[in-house]
Structure formats: C-alpha cells, structure tokens
Structure 1
Amino acid sequence: MRQNPSFAMTDVAELRRVIDDNPWVTLVGTGEAGLVASHYAVLLDGDRDDLTIVGHVGRPDDAILGLGERELLVVVQGPHGYVSPSWYGDAAAVPTWNFVSVHLSGVPEILEPEENLRVLDRLVDRFESSFAQPRGMWSPPNDEDFVRRLERGTVGFRLTPTRVDAKRKLSQNRTDDVVDTIIERVEAGASPYVDPRLGAEMRRAHEALRSARRASS
C-alpha cells in the first residue's frame, strides 16, 4: 500500500479500534499456484493490548494459504466511499476515494484445538451479542459432539504482526469547509458508493487534526 505521511495511521489504540470495528478481513498468502486469498472474521487477542489477532480458517484453506509456514497478509478494510469532485466547489479537482485500511503481516501461530475452540466461542458470542435472543455456540440444539466436530473442520491461528501498514485517507489535505461539505454529502447519501459509517470516520479524523492545530497555536 503506497504510503503518504499525511494519511499514515500509527496510533495503536486507533488501529485496534479499526480492527475491532471491521472484523471481516481478507487473508492473502502464497500457495503453490501463486497468490491466494480467503475471507474470514477475526478478533483482537483478548489477552494482549497490541495488534495481535486470532481467527480460524476452514480446512483445506490452511494448506492453500500455507498457514503457519509462510507469511500471511491480513487486509482490514474500514469505512470507504467515492468522493465526487463536484463536492469541492469551483476548485479544480478530480474524483477520489476516501478509505481506512490496515494491513497486518506475519507468520501466524497455529492454535491447539482447545484454544481454537475458545476462539470460535468468542467469535460466536461477539456476533450474536447484538441479537435480542443471542444463541451461543453451545446453545441447544448444538451439543458437545457437534461443536467438537465443527472445531475439527477448522484451523485456528494467532497472528502477531511483524509489519503494519495503515492508512486513513479522509480528505486531510482539504480545507475545513470542504471537509464539512464532503461529510454532509456523505451522510446525506449523495453517493451510492459510500459506507454509511464514513462520515463518522471523517469527523473523528478531522476533530483530531483540529485539536492538534488548536494545541499548537
């Protein structure tokens, strides 16, 4: 990912927030036939305060990705969307795409069955928690034999990244009034190609910039 110092993300707390808010990721590895990609949900490791993630893949994706043997790239895609040049007023401008993305690279550790089972349980609890009547992995009619068979069909992993590339391109190079206009258009649904969370992400980034400017003035 081409980096620009103005758009770089380095704050670990912010990176953790983006990962936690966007758990559906792309796993990119190198297989016998070349590059391969799979898509799974991940979680931040509950026992760590860094960028370590845990997750699982279904068999035989572990072999295809070389899980535990070769470097894995995890692409976390945050809110993103198309920005029309018409939103800049009369200034010369071209279309662009605002986005937040985090890339985590490293060789993952393969989890033992019992730890993999705990991770699977956490995943289910995380995504069921928003339902009025959440159903856990162990909830009837699921029984222990069923859950154990499910675990054996997956391979759990833990990835502590040895390289992190993160970018938050949210019109930081634009004036405050233009940024406010873009946020207004985004939140009004002026483009069909916009994640509805993009406006809030832009507000967060620009409030941080404005606070930094006030502190230095």
Structure 2
Amino acid sequence: MRQNPSFAMTDVGELRRLVELNPWVTLVSQTDAGLVASHYAVLLDEGRDDLTIVGHVGRPDDLIHSLGEGELLVVVQGAHGYISPGWYADGPNVPTWNFVSAHLTGVPEILSPQENLEVLDRLVARFESGMPQPRLLWEPPNDADYVTKLERGTVGFRLTPTRVVAKRKLSQNRPDEVVETIIAELEAGAGPYADPRLAGEMRRDLDTRKAAR
C-alpha cells in the first residue's frame, strides 16, 4: 500500500482499535505456486499491548500458505466508502474513496494445540457474546471429543508484525466545512452511499485534529 504522510496512521492505540473493530482479515502469502490469499478472523493477543495478533487457518490452508516458513501479509480493512465530488464546494473535482486500512507483515509463529484451543475459545466467546443465548465452545451439546477434533482440523498462529503500513484517508486534505458536509451526506441514510460507520470514523478523525490545533 503506497503511503502518504498526510494519511499515515502510526498510533498503536488506533491501530489496535482498527483490528479490534475489524477482525475479519485477508491473509496473503507468496509461495512457490504464486500468491495465495485466504480470509479468517483474528484477535489481538491478550497478553501483549502491541499489534501482535492470533488466529487460525483450517487445514490444509496451513500447507497452501507454507504457514510459519515465510512472511505473511495480514490486510485489515476498516470502514470505507465512495465520496462524491458533488459533496465538495463548487469547482473542478473528482470522486474518491475514503478508507481506513492496515497491512501487518511478519513471519507467523505456529501455536501448540493447547494455545490453539485457547484462541478458538476466545474467538467463539468474542462473537457469541452479542447473542441472546451465547453458545460457547466448551458448552453442551459440544463435548471434549468434539472440541478436540475441531482443533485438529485447524492450525493456530501468532503474528508479531515486523512491518506495518497503515493509512487513514478521511478527507484530511479538505477544509473542515467540506469534511462536515461529507459527514452529513454519509449520515443522511437516504442516498446509495450513506455509511454511518465511515461518517463516524471521519467525525472521530476531524474532532481529534481540531483538538490538536
């Protein structure tokens, strides 16, 4: 991802927030057979305060990616959406796409079966927590044999990135009043490109920049 200093995202707290809010990521590896991409959910490593993530792949994706033998690129995609030139002030303008995204690169560590089970347990708990009646990994009708077989069909990993490229492109190059107009259009809800989530990220960024002046 080409970096632009005006849009660079470097704060670890903000990057952790991005991963926390957008756990469904793309895993990319360069293999002898060419580029390979897969999609899985990841979590921040609860024992760390950096950008270390944990997750798993289903077998045989570990072999397809040569997991643990070379670099793995993890693409985290946050809120994104189309920005119409009609939302700018009068004058020549073209459309753009606003987004928040991060690329985390490193060589993953393969987890032990017990560590993998702990990650699987956390993943289920994370996403089931919002359900009216959560079905956790170790609760009936699941039993130990079932969970053990499940773990054997997956390979867990931990990745501490050695290279991070992150970008928050949210119309920072536009005057505040134009950004306010874009936010209002995204919040409107009536148009085809309304996106309250992207509007929220833009509002958060604008308020932070105003506070720093």
TM-score by length of 1: 0.96
More displaced stretch, 69-78 vs 203-212: 203-212
Answering whether residue 24 of structure 2 is matched by residue 21 of structure 1, we say no
Q: Distance in 1 between matches of 2:100 and 2:166?
A: 8
Counterpart Cα distance in 2 of 1:184 and 1:193? 12
Amino acid in the other structure paired with 2:55: G
Alignment match, 1:31: 31
| Matched residue type, 1:64 | I
Following superposition, the deviation at residue 150 of structure 1 comes to 0.2
The answer as to whether partners of 1:79 and 1:198 remain within 8 angstroms in 2 is yes
Once the two structures are TM-superposed, the CA of residue 195 in structure 1 deviates from its matched residue by 4.5
- The equivalent residue for 2:138 is 138
Letter in 1 for 2:78: G
What's the C-alpha RMSD, in Å, of the aligned pairs?
1.0
Secondary structure of 1:130's partner? coil
Which contiguous aligned blocks of 4+ residues in structure 1 show a shift greater than 4 angstroms?
none
Q: Which segment drifts farther, 137-146 or 42-51?
A: 137-146
TM-superposed CA distance for 1:190, in Å, is: 5.0
In the alignment, the residues of structure 2 paired with residue 107 and residue 60 of structure 1 have an alpha-carbon distance, to the nearest angstrom, of 18
Question: In the alignment, which residue of structure 2 is the partner of 1:80?
Answer: 80
Is the Cα–Cα contact under 8 Å of residues 77 and 102 in structure 1 kept in the other structure?
A: yes
- Match for residue 54 of structure 2? 54
Instruction: Report the alpha carbon displacement of residue 212 of structure 1 after superposing the two structures with TM.
Output: 1.1
Structure 1's unaligned 5+ residue stretches are none
Q: Distance in 2 between the 1:28 and 1:195 partners?
A: 28
**Is the CA contact 1:57–1:156 (under 8 Å) kept in the aligned structure 2?**
yes
Alpha-carbon offset, residue 92 of structure 1: 1.6
Structure 1 pair 75–193 and aligned structure 2 pair: CA distance change class (3 A): farther
Q: Which residue of 2 aligns with 1:177?
A: 177
Distance 1:191 1:102, change over 3 A: farther
- Measure the CA separation in 1 of the matches of 2:195 and 2:166: 19
Output one character per residue of 1:124-160: Cα deviation in whole Å (capped at 9) or x when no partner: 0000001111110111111000000000000000000
Q: Decide whether the 8 Å contact of 2:28 with 2:38 is kept in 1.
A: yes
- Following the alignment from structure 2 to structure 1, what is the Cα–Cα distance between the partners of residues 189 and 195? 9
Q: Which 10-residue stretch deviates more, 182-191 or 96-105? A: 182-191
Deviations 1:36-88 (A, max 9, x none): 10000000000000000000000000111111001000000000000000000
